[in-house]
Amino acid sequence: MFKIITTTGQCLLIRQTNKLNSAHKIVSGQQLIKRFLNNINSMEKFNLPKRLQGSAPSVWNEYIALAMQYKPLNLGQGFPDDAAPAYVTNALSDISKDENPLLHQYTRGFGHMRLVQAISKLYSNLLHRELNPLTEILITSGAYEALYSSIMGHVDVDDEVIIIEPFFDCYEPMVKMAGGKPRFIPLKPTKTEGVISSADWVLDEEELRKLFNEKTKMIILNTPHNPIGKVFKRHELELIANLCKQWNVLCLSDEVYEWMVYDGNEHIRICTLPDMWERTITIGSAGKTFSVTGWKIGWAYGPSNLIKNLQMVHQNSVYTCPTPLQEAVARSFELELNRLNSAESYFHSLPAELRKKRDFMAQFLQDSGMKPTVPEGGYFMLADWTNLEKQIDLNSEPDKYRDYKFTKWMTKNMGLQGIPPSAFYGEPHKKLGENFVRYCFIKKQENLEKAAQLLKKWKN
């Protein structure tokens, strides 16, 4: 151990031993101060770059660690806990044994040819326009990278980006990393009693209009919405589209839950509205489409002049995505394309299955005293938990926001984990999410039943 003892004009550096203090080395005051300042400068030099400062660990890092420690029934994270379709996983198994050695080597950087051709065929039919598989589609490392490449490829320093709250939590930091300025607008519930639908959460039209200006570069749309489950109606999309055209703004449309829509609601792709193809980048996900979130294969499609910017980011960061996974997704799409209009299509059977799970979850959350928002799409459900407040000890958790306190208390004491929605709001509006919890219902029925029993036993 060392002690620094100051004397006039000098600093005496003393090594302390168990038996005695002996002068170990005499260093001039100027030398010691210089060393100290050099160490400080060295530490500052290796700080996060300014564009990343203020970043914090995501809610997922914190809640995954919490789940590992307490081992609750995890209805928080958004992934299926059941088997993916056999034809999807069998495709990957077949590829692993395929005699073609090139299926295990680099493929085309902007997307494996078989996959971009399959995606082109699918969306050309859905959009009623011919998509060029080489210039209007980019395969990415999950929808996450499609978002990243879109934002980094289009947002410049001081550009403003409108983000609808609550939002997928990576939107805001990605905008900041690009040097842009997030501008937030919340969806707000128009009713708080009775049966509440995700359709009851709406944007304030005048508030939205005021956000658009000459600095606005982009608006990020998510439909079907995570975490509310809102499926934006045509008149809502037309409002956004008209503002984009008025102010010459790009729309980044995150549509990863496009096949999970219930109760006769229609998923409308905003790029199909008049004059919106030219200013829209649309994002999809094989993980969500085929229930294989760990494969991390996504895509973006749009006009070639917009996709080119994404390609520049992609080629200088990710470069290419795994060939076997792209080939397996391509084969899966090809099978679905042959039965797209039949009931046996996974794109139709999955939402039918999820609708039953949704209704089951809404009922047991309501029976427990919570007030669920019944989603029109996606596989998440928000629930107002405030009726349960008297039954829990919020003060036992030190977090700033009440939904963090609630979800942590439930994880530790009830063995049931949800996600705090305030994580999906910008700092000015986080309090809007405090009274809610987000649960995921793309889980085995037996696990949903366990959750129902946990809440029933606790209530009684």
SS3 97: coil
Residues 6+ apart with CB under 8 A from 62: none
Residue 317 is classified by DSSP as T
Looking at the predicted structure, is the pLDDT value of residue 4 above 50?
no
Length reported for the chain = 460
- The confidence score (pLDDT) of residue 52 equals 79
- The confidence score (pLDDT) of residue 35 equals 75
Residue 200 C-alpha from the chain's centroid: 23
Task: Determine phi and psi for 48, rounding to 5 degrees.
Answer: -55, 140
CB burial readout 227-237, b (16+ within 10 A) else e: bbbbbbbeebb
Model confidence band, residue 47 (pLDDT cutoffs 50, 70, 90): confident
CATH, domain 55-83+345-459, list 3.20.20.70, 3.90.1150.10, 2.60.40.10, 3.30.420.40? 3.90.1150.10
* The CATH fold of domain 86-338: Aspartate Aminotransferase; domain 2 (3.40.640)
Q: Read off the pLDDT of residues 174-224 as tens digits, 9 standing for 90 and up.
A: 999 999 999 999 999 999 999 999 999 999 999 999 999 999 999 999 999
Residue 49 is classified by DSSP as P
Q: Read off the pLDDT of residues 352-385 as tens digits, 9 standing for 90 and up.
A: 999 999 999 999 999 999 999 999 999 999 999 9
- The confidence score (pLDDT) of residue 11 equals 42
Looking at the predicted structure, is the pLDDT value of residue 392 above 70?
yes
- The confidence score (pLDDT) of residue 40 equals 67
Task: Determine phi and psi for 411, rounding to 5 degrees.
Answer: -65, -45
Q: Read off the pLDDT of residues 298-336 as tens digits, 9 standing for 90 and up.
A: 999 999 999 999 999 999 999 999 999 999 999 999 999
Model confidence band, residue 143 (pLDDT cutoffs 50, 70, 90): very high
**The token pair that represents 20 in the structure block:** 């005695």
Model confidence band, residue 55 (pLDDT cutoffs 50, 70, 90): confident
Looking at the predicted structure, is the pLDDT value of residue 405 above 60?
yes
Give the predicted TM-score (pTM) of the model: 0.91
**The token pair that represents 235 in the structure block:** 């008149």
Looking at the predicted structure, is the pLDDT value of residue 237 above 70?
yes
Quick one: which H or E segment has residue 4? Answer: strand 2-7
Q: Radius of gyration of the chain from Cα atoms?
A: 26
Integer Cα distance of 167 and 423 in angstroms: 9
- The confidence score (pLDDT) of residue 39 equals 72
- The confidence score (pLDDT) of residue 25 equals 52
Q: Output the DSSP codes for 424-437.
A: GS-GGGGGGGTTEE
Q: What are the boundaries of each domain within the chain?
A: 55-83+345-459, 86-338
Q: Is the peptide bond before 85 cis (omega within 30 degrees of 0)?
A: no
Looking at the predicted structure, is the pLDDT value of residue 2 above 90?
no
Q: Read off the pLDDT of residues 422-458 as tens digits, 9 standing for 90 and up.
A: 999 999 999 999 999 999 999 999 999 999 999 999 9
Percent over 90 (pLDDT), the chain:
86
SS3 162: strand
Q: In what order do the strands lie in the sheet with 196-197?
A: 196-197, 371-374, 380-384, 436-440
Q: For residues 163 and 221, is the Cβ–Cβ distance under 8 A?
A: no
Integer Cα distance of 403 and 375 in angstroms: 20
Helix H, strand E, coil C: the string for 217-285 is EEEEEECCCCCCCCCCCHHHHHHHHHHHHHHCCEEEEECCCCCCECCCCCCCCHHHCCCCHHHEEEEEE
- The confidence score (pLDDT) of residue 381 equals 98
- The confidence score (pLDDT) of residue 27 equals 57
Integer Cα distance of 215 and 212 in angstroms: 8
Residue 100 is classified by DSSP as -
Quick one: which H or E segment has residue 327? Answer: helix 323-337
Q: Output the DSSP codes for 386-421.
A: GGGGGGS-GGGS--SSHHHHHHHHIIIIISEE-B-G
